[in-house]
Chains A and B, each alone.
Chain A
């Protein structure tokens, strides 16, 4: 799937050969559906904006696709572009377009937790993505999820890095007073792992894990839901057979060393850190539970969006841009170096590099390679939110009936982000829902209640 549909390409077919009309061939459609992700920036932003503006103009001049193609075929793309710029000030239009609305508030504070999930939020500062969006953002390291929640609610932060289920929990008033929060972008997909203490080297079958103690970063986290899901699929009831403790990530390695816990499902650089220090080994990557699962999100309160819509749009643009940059494998080394200093994640560069490049030591003496160990894809699929809600329901965090669709659409701003992405010249997915499979069990976002009912192990509510 190309980033943008190039109207200067005379060879592209008028009615593309796939069902959705977005792709040139059914094969390409298939490929795009399996990956379903926006691709990273190819050209510089200015160039891309120029193309977006030029295509818009060209489309306006020749609204009929067939005539447009015929014109392009006879004169050639370069001449067409030159001709268009003759009677239309492309440059000025591009500049006006790139500026969008002036941000109401330029100096923003964004909170983050020092883990690799926050990569786009953090790197956007040293690599200048915020500045490019016309913002002066201070990224502030925060001690824990509850603190980041309170500071964002108290408006000390304009926006923050949160675990993907947190904005849902805050909006529903679980563990806090209900305040409408939103997710304009997902930070990262994959990038977590189950790490076990060295002494459980031979206990690789989860069926033998009865009585073990596991740490998770927060109750309202993908880590909690994924670990519970994984255990339950192996016949272990996470509420009765094992102990799950909410432990701040940095304490996890110390606790694992001290033998207070047997393992954890934690965000990365913590997993790799435990291996780096020789305390634990990687049992599985979270990717093996659900490939492409969301983990952390970029969250802002509904109030911030209404009071400073242009700042919010600029912020979303910066994050989407940074995410696109981070999703390219060749940029990962540079990113690892940019975010390693004490001002940001504060971790050894080797550890971050292993996480981001996907060539890592597994803790058992082997070196593994998986370029998709962590990946970045900003699109806030509403089906992600529906899945999280089903798990909240499954484990008794939500009581009573849930209007899955309404909640997901309120919080996961797929429509707004799609608009921003189109303005930026990216091609976001057309749908806000997609089905996916978790450990081989497929999830249909249109039937959440059936999904919850289908699990044998759950907390009765």
Chain B
């Protein structure tokens, strides 16, 4: 019965995709009505103007272009034109660096905050104010103070992805069941051992949820940051193609950003299943 549900879901998914692609194709077909213009003039004009071609590319255009990109993902034509594979690698590298710094800071700090109700109350207003700030708002400040654009991008990822982890870790640590801590206390377990053998495993699922939210945010932020800073990365690719008003390439980049984001999320979902325990 479960298998058949899956099957049915897959069929519905495919039908939805087909309907979407079909509608897209129909909506972006060229009207075919060539405007009345001299051939000399038409030669100087783009397809949208001469053949009534929609400014939005159809699914076939996108497919063809995607194939072109997939065939050679790692070409390097100089500092401003690299293959999609290289651009994604640059973005992933930046995200990982910023994210790992955030993990290294948020988890120990969250632990301390969670164990001390006083600190948790005292720091709460700061965290609440800093949490909702958009990455683009940090960017000028980072560029101005750090004076290095690639470090600024990493800083922005760090600052945006640190908060969910911090809050979740603190929350997870604070809400470990009192009985377990009391048991540890009766058994005269030391502070350090209590933190690692009782609190950490109990709080792990919440911490991982925070990490999962954070990786999503980090991946969101990288595109915005790279569009601004430029140079390399998938965000730069989007900006560069937008510059050329090449919507086809922008759509391809959107697809890839979604795919990579999904993969990152799934990896953390797997890990969080590993540390979850039945009660």
Contact = CB atoms under 8 A, between A and B. Distances in A.
Contact of A141 (B143, B148, B240): B240
A277 B46 contact: yes
A154 B148 contact: yes
B45 A278 contact: yes
A443 B241 CA distance: 42
A343 B77 contact: yes
Contacts of A147: 143, 149, 228-230
A153 B77 CA distance: 27
B138 interface: no
Nearest to A138: B79
Interface string B112-147: 000000000000000000000000000010011001
Given A143-B227, A367-B44, A343 B81 contact: yes
A365 B37 contact: yes
A277 B41 contact: no
Contacts of A354: 44
B40 A367 contact: yes
Contact of B44 (A114, A153, A254, A350): A350
A140 B80 contact: yes
Interface string B23-46: 000000000000001101101111
A interface bracket (residues with beta carbon within 8 Å of B): 35 or more
A89 interface: no
Contacts of A275: 45, 49
B55 interface: yes
B44 A361 contact: yes
A277 B48 contact: yes
Nearest to B241: A346
B245 A253 contact: yes
Interface in B209-242: 227-231, 236, 239-242
Nearest to A346: B244
Contact of A365 (B38, B147, B244): B38
A257 B55 contact: yes
10 contacts: A140-B230, A143-B229, A144-B228, A150-B144, A154-B149, A156-B148, A250-B243, A341-B77, A342-B244, A361-B44
Interface residues of B, number: 35
A276 B243 CA distance: 14
Contact of B46 (A140, A278, A359): A278
B78 interface: yes
Contacts of B46: 276-278, 348, 350
Main secondary structure of the interface of A (DSSP, over half): mixed
A375 B80 CA distance: 26
A154 B80 contact: no
Contact of A361 (B41, B144, B228, B239): B41
Contacts of A365: 37-38, 41
A207 to B, nearest CB: 29
B49 A277 contact: yes
A273 B48 CA distance: 11
A426 interface: no
Given A147-B229, A367-B44, A277 B79 contact: no
B152 to A, nearest CB: 9
A114 B243 contact: yes
A328 interface: no
A366 interface: yes
A114 B80 CA distance: 11
A278 B217 CA distance: 38
A200 to B, nearest CB: 17
Contact of B45 (A114, A139, A276, A342): A276
Contacts of B38: 365, 367
Contacts of A141: 79-80, 230-231, 240
Interface in A151-174: 151, 153-156
A346 B41 contact: no
Nearest to B237: A342
Interface string B185-214: 000000000000000000000000000000
A257 B48 CA distance: 12
Nearest to A148: B230
A395 interface: no
A344 interface: yes
Contacts of A154: 143, 147-149
A360 interface: yes
A2 interface: no
B201 to A, nearest CB: 45
Interface string A77-96: 00000000000000000000
Contacts of B242: 250, 254
A36 interface: no
A347 interface: yes
Sort A-B residue pairs by CB-CB distance and give the 7 closest, nearest first.
A278-B49, A343-B81, A361-B44, A154-B147, A342-B81, A276-B46, A250-B243
A421 B57 CA distance: 49
Given A143-B228, A347-B244, A350-B43, 16 more contacts: A141-B79, A141-B230, A143-B227, A150-B143, A154-B148, A250-B244, A276-B44, A276-B46, A276-B49, A278-B46, A343-B77, A343-B81, A350-B46, A354-B44, A361-B45, A365-B41
B161 to A, nearest CB: 22
Interface string A113-156: 01000000000000000000000001111111011001101111
A144 B229 CA distance: 9
Contacts of A155: 147
A212 B135 CA distance: 32
A138 B46 CA distance: 31
Nearest to A176: B144
Contacts of A341: 77, 81
Contact of B230 (A142, A343, A346, A347): A142
Contacts of A156: 148-149
Contacts of A146: 140
Contacts of A344: 80
Nearest to A140: B79
B244 A278 contact: no
Contacts of A273: 245
A343 B244 CA distance: 12
A341 to B, nearest CB: 7
A343 B44 contact: no
Residue from B78, B144, B241, B245 whose CB has the most chain A CB atoms within 10 Å: B245
A155 B37 CA distance: 50
Residue from A276, A348, A350 whose CB has the most chain B CB atoms within 10 Å: A276
